[in-house]
Amino acid sequence: MNFDNIKNIKIHDVGMRDGLQMESESVDIETKIEWIEELIKSGIDIVQVGSFVHTVKVPQMADTDELFLHFNKPENKPANTILSALILNEKGMERGLNSGVEMFCMGVSASETHSMKNTGMSSAEAQTRIINMAKELMNSGKRVQVSVQSAFGCGFEGDIAEDKVLGIVKEYLNAGIKNISLADTAGHGNPAKVQRLYSAILKMDNDIEMACHFHNTYGMGLANCLVAIEEGVKYIETAFGGLGGCPFTKLAAGNVCTEDFVHTLQNMGYRKDIDLERLIKIAKHASGFFVKDLPGFVYKSGGIND
């Protein structure tokens, strides 16, 4: 395998959003602030603080506005870490703008069933709205990342036609949006499918910046990340402790674990600038907070060189 691209990898930890949205026990804002501060200090490139969604449907995200207002105070604003948020609609965009979000993430599902459960919209309707929001945000000087959710399969529909995924990506590119993520919402991705899709997408535009978001439902998440890197993907989305899962998919499971992924990179000689021990401490704290074992491995075993 050719890992020439690995030296340029950026890690986007989504644990505070995707990681917490499935947890039934509410996390107080003081603990959230502590975990975000530790992620920033660890050297993670992008931290997803939360999502601007309906607080009844996803109560864990009820304080996202307050968190952004806290971290946008001059004394709390990180110097080298980008703070991102997920939005689903125009109301979420307005809340994000009012809260000072610098990077907006939004996506459309390639699965019609998942799209309706997640947003109440068809894939086509969701994409039209997302593209319009993305253009408005980019015109305002904001950083934007769009995604194709259920890109590798759906728990409700099974296989998703790769042509449909590529068609959604083409519409993003036609709208001038270059930062695009493929999200494996149901965890159905496998290395061969990952290679095919990213290889096809990266031939569409020389200036495209690709991201990946893999769930570890069937244990293939880390392998899929490595294949995506080999194909030229730059942004890898992970969650501390391996937390996470979409509440609107059939079988929710955690994300690729941040500290496991960082441990892998560091054992290959890369991203030694990230403080792995600090990430392990966050995972241990989260495990104690929820009083359960988390899906990650390295926070339990320690690193190979420990």
pLDDT in tens, 160-199: 889 999 999 999 999 999 999 999 988 899 999 999 999 9
Catalytic-labelled residue, pool 154, 225, 246, 257: 246
Q: What one-letter code names the amino acid at 299?
A: Y
pLDDT of 252 higher than 50:
no
State the chain's maximal CA–CA distance in angstroms: 51
pLDDT of 2 higher than 80:
no
Assign 279 to helix, strand or coil.
helix
- Residue 300: half-sphere exposure toward Cβ, Cα within 13 Å: 10
Which phi and psi (to 5°) does residue 212 adopt?
A: -135, 150
What is residue 162's predicted lDDT score, i.e. its pLDDT?
A: 93
pLDDT of 262 higher than 50:
yes
Assign 190 to helix, strand or coil.
coil
pLDDT of 247 higher than 60:
no
Average pLDDT, the chain: 91
Q: What does the alpha-carbon distance between residue 76 and residue 63 come to, in Å, rounded to a whole number?
A: 17
pLDDT of 251 higher than 60:
no
* 300 Cβ contact list (under 8 Å, min separation 6): 293
pLDDT of 201 higher than 90:
yes
Q: Can you read off the two tokens belonging to residue 216?
A: 């570890």
Q: Is 257 a catalytic residue?
A: no
What is residue 276's predicted lDDT score, i.e. its pLDDT?
A: 97
Average pLDDT over residues 42-60: 93
pLDDT of 300 higher than 70:
yes
Query: In Å, how far are 37, 96, 98, 108, 109 from 89, measured between CA atoms?
Result: 28, 11, 14, 11, 14
Determine how β-strand 103-109 pairs with β-strand 46-52: unpaired
What is residue 267's predicted lDDT score, i.e. its pLDDT?
A: 94
What is residue 196's predicted lDDT score, i.e. its pLDDT?
A: 96
Q: Can you read off the two tokens belonging to residue 260?
A: 């496991």
Residue 16 in contact with residue 36, Cβ under 8 Å?
A: yes
Q: What one-letter code names the amino acid at 38?
A: E
Q: What does the alpha-carbon distance between residue 236 and residue 6 come to, in Å, rounded to a whole number?
A: 11
Q: Where are the domains of the chain?
A: 4-301
Residue 278 in contact with residue 225, Cβ under 8 Å?
A: no
What is residue 169's predicted lDDT score, i.e. its pLDDT?
A: 96
Q: What does the alpha-carbon distance between residue 26 and residue 207 come to, in Å, rounded to a whole number?
A: 41
Superfamily classification of domain 4-301: Aldolase class I (3.20.20.70)
